[in-house]
Amino acid sequence: VSDSILECYTPAQTTSDEFPVKLKIDLANRETSSFSYREDPVVYEIHPTKSFISGGSTITGIGKTLNSVSLPKLVIDVHEVGVNYTV
């Protein structure tokens, strides 16, 4: 909680569904448009599994409901160099 932001973490659900978001502070009640729970994304494969050290390869992830996340990221953790590459 801050002067301008309230955050809460969503609990797990058993199905995809929509729910209203309600905020109650003292006598003030606010309701926004609905909040949607979507199916969890599932990654079936990532390819290629290797590339040249000079880089430049396109890495593709294949799966189901990959568009259900708000901010999708693909992270490559290169331990030897101590670098994370995030797309």
19: its two tokens: 């729910």
35: its two tokens: 């909040």
Model confidence over 5-20: pLDDT tens digits? 888 888 888 888 888 8
- Show contacts of 11-14: CB within 8 Å, 24+ apart: 13/37
- Tell me the pTM: 0.60
Q: Which carries the bigger pLDDT value, residue 59 or residue 80?
A: 59
CB 78 within 8 A of CB 86: no
Eight-state DSSP code of residue 6: -
Model confidence over 34-63: pLDDT tens digits? 888 888 899 999 999 888 888 888 899 999
3-state secondary structure of 84: strand
Rg of the chain on CA atoms, in Å: 20
